[in-house]
Structure 1
Amino acid sequence: MTITYRKAVSDDTPDCITLRGMTRENAFSVAELAERGITLESWRDAIADGSLPGHVAIEDGKIVGYCFGHSDSGEIAVLALLPEQEGKGIGKKLLSLMVEDLGKFGFQRLFLGCSADPEVRSYGFYRHLGWRSTGSFDEAGDEVLEYPLR
């Protein structure tokens, strides 16, 4: 099957929320997302008003991965893939699309929170792509990584 990419739209939100609970690492259920203030409505509204731009990867008409970022801060909010889509370059492509989009907002650097555990897949993924530790941690205990924009 061929993977296609496009900008996320508000109507993608239900599928994105469902997919978030199906990821291999760092999965969050609908209830867990709601506890963090992320609901169907809040996510849909943020896509609609442009504060949470994103891209989705589609295979056979279904969303198999996505990446979203905050247009006001330059933070990569989430990158999620179905487990069977890992290792195919989809995450790398989605992240590069978001880096390109967020770069248009004039940020000097982008940032994200990532597990500080080298055994977790995301630890090596981001570092391999040039993201570097800031030496700080966010409120969730994740290490803050940054990516300088030129």
Structure 2
Amino acid sequence: MTEDDIPAVDALEQKLFPADAWPTEMFYEELAQDTRSYYVAVDALGEVIGYAGLMCVRPIADVQTIAVVPEREGQGIGSRLLTLLIEQAAEQRAEDVLLEVRADNPRAQRLYRWFGFEQIHVRPRYYRGGTDALIMRLKLKDWAGMPGAGRDAAGAGTSGKQPKTTEERR
């Protein structure tokens, strides 16, 4: 992700997470941090269709955000973005990857479990509106690569085309 991607990412953030959306300035602040790695997935027309970010302060890496436009869910984009985050954490020699997921988001929970994340804690009323956050962890020593390579979280095959991604490198 680069600063040029932020307007499109911010528009998606506002659309996908209206109650919990990050302020626009937060994306700029995140890109300025050397402990952060952000990616975008774009379609054939160059439109942003997903984004994801990771913070890594060894020995822990933390998924900051991950999102895919609803009309492209189930096509392996979220899986590819999550794989990039996990690979980045491993490259930075983190031991564990942590994330928070809404307790009322079973689709995302399935994706994370499919990748080997295990629930380790609950943060009561973490999200606006009082929804709990499930804290999940992946031990990187157990990471063997993207499960079912070329398949999405529901097990349906993808077209074999991976989304084009860019990373803000520092």
TM-score (norm 1): 0.78
List, as ranges, runs of 4+ consecutive aligned residues in structure 1 with deviation greater than 3 Å. Answer: none
Q: Provide the rounded CA distance (Å) in 1 between the counterparts of 2:101 and 2:139.
A: 16
Give 1:44's match in structure 2, choosing from 3, 28, 36: 28
Q: Provide the rounded CA distance (Å) in 1 between the counterparts of 2:56 and 2:124.
A: 19
- Where does residue 21 of structure 1 map in the other structure? 14
Q: Provide the rounded CA distance (Å) in 2 between the counterparts of 1:84 and 1:144.
A: 27
Computing the radius of gyration from Cα coordinates, the structure with the larger value is 2
Q: Provide the rounded CA distance (Å) in 1 between the counterparts of 2:26 and 2:83.
A: 25
User: How far apart are residue 121 of structure 1 and its match?
Assistant: 1.5
User: How far apart are residue 69 of structure 1 and its match?
Assistant: 1.1
Unaligned runs of 5+ in 2: 127-131, 142-170
Please tell me whether the aligned partners of residues 50 and 71 of structure 1 are also in contact (alpha carbons under 8 angstroms): no
What amino acid is the match of 2:71? E
Please tell me whether the aligned partners of residues 113 and 142 of structure 1 are also in contact (alpha carbons under 8 angstroms): yes
How many residues are matched?
133
Unaligned runs of 5+ in 1: 1-7
Secondary structure of 2:56 counterpart? coil
TM-score (norm 2): 0.70
- Where does residue 139 of structure 2 map in the other structure? 148
Q: Provide the rounded CA distance (Å) in 1 between the counterparts of 2:18 and 2:9.
A: 11
Q: Provide the rounded CA distance (Å) in 1 between the counterparts of 2:4 and 2:33.
A: 13
Are 1:113 and 2:104 matched, yes or no? no
Identity over the aligned pairs, expressed in percent?
23
What amino acid is the match of 2:24? L
- Where does residue 62 of structure 1 map in the other structure? 47
- Where does residue 122 of structure 1 map in the other structure? 108
Secondary structure of 2:36 counterpart? coil
**Which structure is richer in relative contact order (CA contacts within 8 A, separation 6 or more)?**
2
Q: Provide the rounded CA distance (Å) in 2 between the counterparts of 1:44 and 1:50.
A: 12
- Where does residue 84 of structure 2 map in the other structure? 97
What amino acid is the match of 2:30? A
- Go from structure 1 to structure 2 and tell me whether the alpha carbon gap of 1:133 and 1:50 turns closer, same or farther (over 3 Å shift): same
CA RMSD in angstroms, aligned pairs only: 2.0
Q: Provide the rounded CA distance (Å) in 2 between the counterparts of 1:46 and 1:54.
A: 8
- Where does residue 150 of structure 2 map in the other structure? none
- Go from structure 1 to structure 2 and tell me whether the alpha carbon gap of 1:95 and 1:138 turns closer, same or farther (over 3 Å shift): farther
User: How far apart are residue 139 of structure 1 and its match?
Assistant: 6.3
